[in-house]
Every structure is written in structure tokens, then in C-alpha cells.
Structure 1
């Protein structure tokens, strides 16, 4: 759904209408920079959750980049076990993320409410299968969560999992044809897709991330899955130490003890996931073939459990196909928050289709930049630009997504620069410089 930028008032308080579209209900929770309300869509009456963020506070604290990252990640994902972002709204002072409602709370609270603080193995299998299904899909879409933990796994009214909070996610181009990347190619560094930012919650974070080494985002998420699986089965953390250095040493030495009630196949799976060597650690995409998952869930579903007998869908480790027309529409400027923190956009974005290779496209954009006065930046370069831009300097960032094996969608965004510089930017000159690299040039909606 398209996002909306509006100058209408919306105070973000319970019981008040929000921009004529939603009626805010009770407060569900609050964080440092956000409040989450239950709300009702005035058009259809459907329940939703609305996260209300204070724009000046986000700008002053530098947290706006995290919000942008969260929206960019969620707009790529459309999966039954990923919390859905419906719409983005904004006023001069507030940003509103309208999301799917997950009234069941988070997984940590659900486990804490159980007498043993853990699940029977058949129930843990179903819970874990849904988590893995969501992450397999996310990774194939180029989204690596980097903060997978029970607090970020929500439950809907039926008890189904919804992975949430993508504020620390790393975004890379979706894999060709929607299939997972070759993990070996990433691990040796030749692909240039390794990550460097140390982030996440220490008790659930892979040791290579805590040691601030370059790491594979998919393998880091796999470690977090191992910790969650251990918690589901044992009722406590495998590594729990206030001293992060000591905790990291314990992880490297595999100093944890699996309770006696855990079955041998589950023990072996935990061991494969909590492998301190990312090169030999089991990848999330490989979990479907593990013997622990091959046990018939139709038998498990008769036993009941947290998920209420959802037996068939949990093991649908579906890899998404290449982008279709609906996906391209979802990437329209309506869901792009980059303009919500500045008052004018002045044609900052353009998109075009190309049959050229990514390498050729980047080379031609770089050559054009030399003539037209901008410089190309990667993801990290964009993140380092101060919010609001660098006066007197204009940078261009680029994202690519595969539409078909022969066709790529390229999105160009101007970063920095004042309004006059952006207004005068020569998009038509750029199109001419790119020549036959451009198959179809798309003019984005502006304003």
C-alpha cells in the first residue's frame, strides 16, 4: 500500500483519529523512541497496530536511519511469518508505521508464562520451523535480520509467529532467481557481501560479530536461531554472562550443557547451529533437510502445543521467485521513508530498467558522475551522510533488483545536497550519458 506524507494534524494519542484513516485505541507498548497503539481502520474496521515515532527526536538522536532501514526491509518481505507493514504515514512532527496486529505478545513473554519456561519438543519444532521459514525467505530477498531473539518474534491471535523489528537489518540485493547465495563465496570475501557492523543482542549474537570480524549475515542469523532453539528446548540461555568477553569465550569453547530431556537429533541440530566457526555452521537454508525436521509434523500436531496444530505450513521453506510486477509496485516511492525527514524531495529518485550487467551499469553510472558532478556511494557511505545531507555535495546511491534473468530494475537516489542542487540535477543528461544501458526510464512521483 502506498505511504502518505501529509501536513494534516495527527496527535498520535489513543482515542483520536489519525489523518482521517485510523482510530487509535489502547497503548500496547512503548520503547525509547516509539509508542505502539492498537488501532482500527476507519474504512473497513480491520484491527492494526500503529507505531508512532517522534520525527524531531529521531532526527536529533540519529535514529532516523534505523527507521528507514526497518521500512526498507519490511517492504521487501511478504511472508506469513513476517510482520506485515501496511502503510507509512507522516506529518511534520510524527511518523506512523501501520502494521499487522500481533495480539499474542512476544515469544519471550509466552515462554515466561509457562511453568517450565520451555516447550515440549514437538511444540518447539513447530515454533522453530516457522521462524526458519521466515528467515529463509528474508535471506533470499537480501534481508539479514541481525537481531533475531524471542523479544522480536511476535504471535498473532492464532499463535503463529511473526518476525518483527528489522531496525538492525542489513539489506543486500536480492539473490538471482530468489535462490540463496553461495555461502562459501561470501565467507571467503571474494563476493564483497560480508558485513562489518557489530550489532544485535549479545546473548543471541554470533561470536564472529561480537569479535567485530567481517561476517556473513545469513550465518549470523543461523547462530541466533541456534540460541533460540536451545531456549525453546531448555528454558534458559546456553551462554549467559554479564561479561561479554567471557560469554564470547564460552561460545568459542562450546561451554554449554543440553538438558537430558532433549532428544539426540535435537541435540545434534543445536550443535550444528552453535558452531563458532561460521564456515562449518549449518546455514538456515539447510535446516529443512535436517533429520530433526523430517519427523512427521502430522503426528506432532495431534499432541497440541503453542502453535495449535499448524502442521503443514511450518515446513514450507519456500524460496521466493524473482521479483514480479506486484513486488515492483511495492517498491514505489509511497513506501520510501527517505523523504519523511526532510521537507522537500525535488526529484531525488528515478528508476530505470536495464538488460546490462550490474558491473556495466555501475561503471557507466560512475563515468556519468565524473561528467555531471556527483559521486557514487555504497550502503555504508549513504549511512554515514548526516541526516539532511552535505551542503555542496551530492552523492548517488543505487539499488538493483532482478525482474527476470535478463532484466534488472535500478533505483537511483540522490543523497545530500541542498534543495537548489537537487532541483538542478540533470536527470535527462544522466539518461543520455547512460545511453543503451537504459531499456526503460521511469519518472517517479515527486513531491
Structure 2
């Protein structure tokens, strides 16, 4: 008898259970079209609705993980939803938690501890540049890639994000955070106090505790009595084991400083001689780096052997726009599958729209609009192009892909996807540049409730599609 497989949204095979939390389960999965391994976190919406603050936490985690795409941060590939469940599809990290390596083997060799610390600081520095503060940095939230041995920061559920329009994370009373959160042994002294704290300096303290734990095999402030541990943290009262090198002790002494105003900054850390030894900055993402997309990414690898898929000829792929199947169209455009209507109070920049122009003509309009916005245009194939701003932004030049899909002869869909550059600039690009430039050819924008002039308000055909919500994961033999 053939092995039973579970298929999610006709896109992912769902495998073994990897872990269980209070409100979520994480499964191993495989993307059918590419064969890529993924981790799928499933959260029940009924749990979210009942738990105070859970809605805001999930919304924040999604928003944060869209902003922080970095080689040393676990990638959120996409978020899917039905009436009852939310699905986080994430990069699968096979090496497990860094905590497990400490728990089994104790302290790490100094060179390996330094490498992990370098990658941790690179990831945290990137987060801070986006106005994101993790607030729960600890070895349990640091994963190790089983293939490359690289560190990956995970779990942004307790993170904080300062919005760009406030420009407040540079300082001032309004920039201070006030929520006491994190794991006690890793939390900064200022978080324990009742006054506000700066998220960046608090993260740096936690990085210092992690570095100490990597080199020592135990924590600097650990005590069976929680209040005694808090007292040690508030005073930064700790001792070095005899095997610590003088250079590592100097750095940790600057990281674990009780007064956050006197604590070393990330820019100073990256100039430290101990830190810089054999330091290899992570490779930056460029316009030629493909970004996985829920719908538009072409397979880079052969399809899974378990699922038979008809392949197009090279000529057909280059000349014709790729088609949307009905399920993709419904799951992308229906509010029943769109998280924005469920969680986000403010409208977010839209990245997909439908048009009644033929695909070829729509592609020509896109190219003309891009040139008017002073963007370079590079054709990937006939109905997919890469667009790059000529002007430098906060994180280099903004680069996006725009691809046209054919739903029917009279209906086409355009999907935008950021390749590189600043995520906030990308959102402004979608709202302030793309929408006005193309308003005369757009029929509906994804997530806009009243954009369709022919909509009679009955969405049942979108939500159910002939089956109830319990059939979201279907069994096939």
C-alpha cells in the first residue's frame, strides 16, 4: 500500500511533527514544485481569538519577519490562512537549537563561539537597522543549519517594531519600550526596572549573555533563587572562568554593563579585534537573488517525484504568461484567505492586482510605467521583468520583480515581489508610485473589499469552493 501523504493548499506535502507549543504545532514539509524542505507552523484562529494580545503578537511577528530577510535569520516564506487556521511557511533548519549543543557538550571552542557570535551580531544589527528589536535572544531561539553550520535567529513573537514615520528609535522618551519580556537569565537590567528601556541596548546585553554561555558552558547570572539572580543582573555581578582569553573577557566586560548608556554599541563591537578575527560579513541580497513567492516563483529544481507535473517546453515558457489555477486565484484574492482583513487595523501596501487587459498589453503598460518611475527594466522572460530604481535607497537600490499571469482571456493578474532594497521603501513604492500610475488599468487590488464594481457582496463561492474548511489538508494516496 502506498504511503499516505497530506497536501496543504496543493503546494506543500506535510510530514512529521517537529514540535508543539501552547497554541501552535510545527510540521516538517516539502514544497511540491521545488522539492525544498520547509517548516510549517499551524495556529488555530480560535486560540488566537480567545487569548488576550495574541492577535497583536501574530500580526507583529508577520510584519517583522517580512522586514528582516537576512542570511542569519530564519526566513518566513509565506503566510496562508483559512477560516480556522493560520499557516506560517518557513525555512527549514535541520541542525536544531544552539541550546542543544551547549546542553550536550558544554562550552564551545573559542573559534566556533566567535563565529556564532559574529553571525548573531550581523543578524541583530540588520534587525535594528529596520527598527526591529528581538527582545528574547537566547540559545533556544538560535538555530544551526545542519548543512552549512551557520546560525539562524528565530522566534520574533516577543519582538518590538518602531514605525518609520515616527523616526523615534534614534532616541528620546517616545523611543523607549516598556513591556517587561524575555527570558529572565538573558534579560537586560534596564528591562527589570520599571522605567522605559531602549530595545537595541537590551538586545546587545542578551547577545553578551549568549557569548558568555557559548564560551563557559553555563550562564553568568544563573541562581536557583530568582530574586538573587535579578540582583546579580541589576549589578552586572558575574565572574569569568579561568579558560576565557583576555580578549574575550574585555569584550564581554563591555557587553554586560549595567548602565545601558555605557554599554558597547554594535558598531563598536564590529570594530573589536577579537570579534573581527576571521570575520566574513554575510553576502548581501542582489537583484539576481530569487525570492520565493507563494505563486510566481518558477521551480528551480525538478518537481517532487511523488507528484507528477507536466512540464512546459522552453519555447512555451518563454513566450506565454504562466496561468493561475482556480485555487491560487481564490486563495490570493479572496478575503477569506487574506490575513490583512483578520489582523491588521491599518491597510497595508498591496502587491497584487487584477486587470481586464490582455497579458501582453498589460506587460507593456507595466514596462512603460516603470520607465516613467525612473527604473531600469530587465526582462526575465516574456511576461516577467525585474525593475530596479536608479536612485540609491537606505539599503541600496530597490529591486522588484513584476510578473503577469493569465487567469482567463479577459482577466490577468500582476504580482510584485521585492528582490532587494529597503522593505519600507518597497511598501511606499507599491502605494505611492504603482497604484497611482496604474489606476486606469486596475480592476481590483488584493485585499480591497469594494474594488470590484460587479461584486454583489456574496463571497461564499470564494470561501468554500465546494468544500468545507476541514478539507484544507487533503489526504492523497
In structure 2, relative to structure 1, the CA distance for the partners of 1:75 and 1:29 (3 Å cut) is same
Aligned to 1:38: 28
Q: Name the CA distance, whole Å, in 1 between partners of 2:99 and 2:203.
A: 18
- Aligned to 1:289, what secondary structure does the other structure show? coil
Taking structure 2 as the reference length, the TM-score comes to 0.61
Shift of 1:440: 7.2
Could you report, residue by residue, the CA deviation over 1:235-266 in whole angstroms, capped at 9, with x for unpaired residues? Answer: 10101134443322212322211111111110
How many residues of Structure 1 are paired with residues of Structure 2 in the alignment? 328
Could you report, residue by residue, the CA deviation over 1:76-113 in whole angstroms, capped at 9, with x for unpaired residues? Answer: 11110000000111111111100000010010012212
- Aligned to 1:349, what secondary structure does the other structure show? coil
Give the aligned CA root-mean-square deviation in angstroms.
3.8
> 1:108–1:151: 8 Å Cα contact kept in structure 2?
yes
Aligned to 1:22: 12
Aligned to 1:418: none
Question: Which residue, out of 207, 214, 234, partners 1:225?
Answer: 207
Shift of 1:43: 1.3
> 2:186–2:206: 8 Å Cα contact kept in structure 1?
yes
Q: Name the CA distance, whole Å, in 1 between partners of 2:348 and 2:64.
A: 20
- Aligned to 1:16, what secondary structure does the other structure show? strand
Q: Name the CA distance, whole Å, in 2 between partners of 1:126 and 1:337.
A: 45
Matches within 5 A, 1:105-120: 105-114=96-105, 117-120=106-109
Question: Which residue, out of 40, 47, 68, partners 2:37?
Answer: 47
Could you report, residue by residue, the CA deviation over 1:382-423 in whole angstroms, capped at 9, with x for unpaired residues? Answer: xxxxxxxxxxxxxxxxxx97539xx96697xxxxxxxxxxxx
Q: Name the CA distance, whole Å, in 1 between partners of 2:424 and 2:275.
A: 32
Question: Which residue, out of 119, 129, 148, partners 1:130?
Answer: 119
Shift of 1:155: 1.2
In structure 2, relative to structure 1, the CA distance for the partners of 1:74 and 1:261 (3 Å cut) is same
Aligned to 1:70: 61
Shift of 1:203: 0.7
> 2:136–2:159: 8 Å Cα contact kept in structure 1?
yes
Aligned to 2:129: 140
Unaligned 5+ runs, structure 2: 295-330, 351-421, 450-477
Unaligned 5+ runs, structure 1: 1-13, 298-310, 353-399, 412-430, 432-437
Question: Which residue, out of 128, 139, 144, partners 1:150?
Answer: 139
Q: Name the CA distance, whole Å, in 1 between partners of 2:143 and 2:77.
A: 17
Aligned to 1:273: 255
Taking structure 1 as the reference length, the TM-score comes to 0.65
> 2:94–2:144: 8 Å Cα contact kept in structure 1?
yes
In structure 2, relative to structure 1, the CA distance for the partners of 1:348 and 1:264 (3 Å cut) is closer
Q: Name the CA distance, whole Å, in 1 between partners of 2:55 and 2:424.
A: 28
Shift of 1:193: 1.5
Q: Which runs of structure 1 show a deviation greater than 4 angstroms over 4 or more consecutive aligned residues?
A: 333-339, 341-345, 407-411, 438-444
In structure 2, relative to structure 1, the CA distance for the partners of 1:401 and 1:82 (3 Å cut) is closer
In structure 2, relative to structure 1, the CA distance for the partners of 1:334 and 1:213 (3 Å cut) is farther
Are 2:48 and 1:58 aligned?
yes
Shift of 1:288: 0.7
Shift of 1:55: 1.0
- Aligned to 2:100, what secondary structure does the other structure show? helix
In structure 2, relative to structure 1, the CA distance for the partners of 1:264 and 1:441 (3 Å cut) is farther
- Aligned to 2:43, what secondary structure does the other structure show? strand
Question: Which residue, out of 425, 433, 450, partners 1:403?
Answer: 425
Aligned to 1:248: 230
The answer to which of 227-236 and 87-96 deviates more is 87-96
Aligned to 1:434: none
In structure 2, relative to structure 1, the CA distance for the partners of 1:334 and 1:260 (3 Å cut) is farther
- Which entry has the higher C-alpha Rg, 1 or 2? 2
Are 2:163 and 1:195 aligned?
no
Shift of 1:337: 11
Question: Which residue, out of 309, 312, 321, partners 2:280?
Answer: 312
Aligned to 2:339: 340
